[in-house]
Structure 1
């Protein structure tokens, strides 16, 4: 595994660290990723963002699961080193979240106590299915699914079924009117930045509940 670029944002009195993986179409510096990290920082949650190898070398083709899983394990190990003593959660946007859950299902990520999915890509657009969620049956830690009601990659009824099947470990937060990128239409009366702030608040609260 080559050295990966990463960004750590750690408040002075951090209470947890989120290993935050990017999606297939944009890297760790994308405004959505940066805004989520900044808002979590204000809530006392550190974030470690990192680049998957494909993004680091400028490719548009996402890494294979084997390579993606190795990158996630390397990032988690770095977070454990840099945020020693803090509880860790892992996950991220779309592809990054799904690769993290696959890695956790295969072999638990050391020190990780929960998974957060920001737009879990349940199926390709226009092809409803839950096949991509089959591995979640092997995840034995709490999971938070944050999803938009207009997400074309996660038909709401199907995602509800996925969450219901893991009801003891899975929690969902619905963002009304948001698409897969968490954009909302102007007629909603909300700005995208407000949506991200709300997502960070929900994620922060959920992380806080893990120790209760």
Structure 2
């Protein structure tokens, strides 16, 4: 796909927010190994520091990243008013729309995924859409304070090759809790020492947040690139 040939998406302006379609491209300088559609979490937009650093780090490793915003977040950008996420049915509908648009324009491996909620929504559709891979960054295995109500039923039969990058002390799915879930053999877990839901480690771990984000990007790039 050459620059500027996508419907409403201008790859030539990969560092700028596209008001017409709520898209952001981050493209590799060299060969593209794969493309990842990356959705944001419930409370932060597609250009949050986490999303920005992850997309740029992946692009530097040969992975083209396309970020988009769900309707409720795009509306907040326009008027500054905080809103709760759209109902799940609408979030899934938007994911389907974005995937179809990108699949029509992009050749080669196409993965889907996201931060927290964005990744969970992608996981509900990965098999249906026929995505080449699924990437979840800080998967919300359960809602805050509700570890007794895990949201993992669909993960037991997931067929799409999946990578979940998770902090060991994630409040929405720590290592001990996740060890007890019957996850599909197609799911690979990459744990980051003492990381929280944003993959930020405790200072005493000896790691910095930047190091963990870089490690996450390296794991994702290797997974999508077939390393």
Does the aligned pair in 2 maintain the 1:4–1:53 contact within 8 Å?
A: no
Counterpart mapping for 1:133-172 below 5 A:
133-162=152-181, 165-167=183-185, 169-172=186-189
Higher relative contact order, chain-length normalized (CA < 8 Å, sep 6+): 1
| TM norm structure 2 | 0.83
118, 121, 143: which is aligned to 1:124?
143
Counterpart mapping for 1:42-53 below 5 A:
42-53=60-71
Larger radius of gyration: 2
Counterpart mapping for 1:65-80 below 5 A:
65-80=88-103
Once the two structures are overlaid, the 10-residue window that deviates more, 193-202 or 67-76, is: 67-76
Structure 1: gaps spanning 5 or more residues? none
SS of 2:151's equivalent in the other structure is helix
Does the aligned pair in 2 maintain the 1:4–1:52 contact within 8 Å?
A: no
Distance in 2 of aligned mates of 1:145 and 1:34? 19
Distance in 2 of aligned mates of 1:38 and 1:47? 8
Does the aligned pair in 1 maintain the 2:33–2:224 contact within 8 Å?
A: no
Alignment correspondent of 1:39: 57
Does the aligned pair in 2 maintain the 1:123–1:132 contact within 8 Å?
A: yes
Q: Please report the RMSD computed on the Cα atoms of aligned residues, expressed in angstroms.
A: 1.8
Does the aligned pair in 1 maintain the 2:112–2:126 contact within 8 Å?
A: no
Distance in 2 of aligned mates of 1:166 and 1:177? 24
Number of corresponding residues: 202
Alignment correspondent of 2:13: none
Structure 2: gaps spanning 5 or more residues? 1-19, 77-81
| TM norm structure 1 | 0.88
Alignment correspondent of 2:200: 183
Counterpart mapping for 1:84-95 below 5 A:
85-95=107-117
Relative to structure 1, the CA distance from residue 129 to residue 88 in structure 2 (aligned partners, 3 Å threshold; closer, same or farther) is farther
116, 120, 129: which is aligned to 1:109?
129
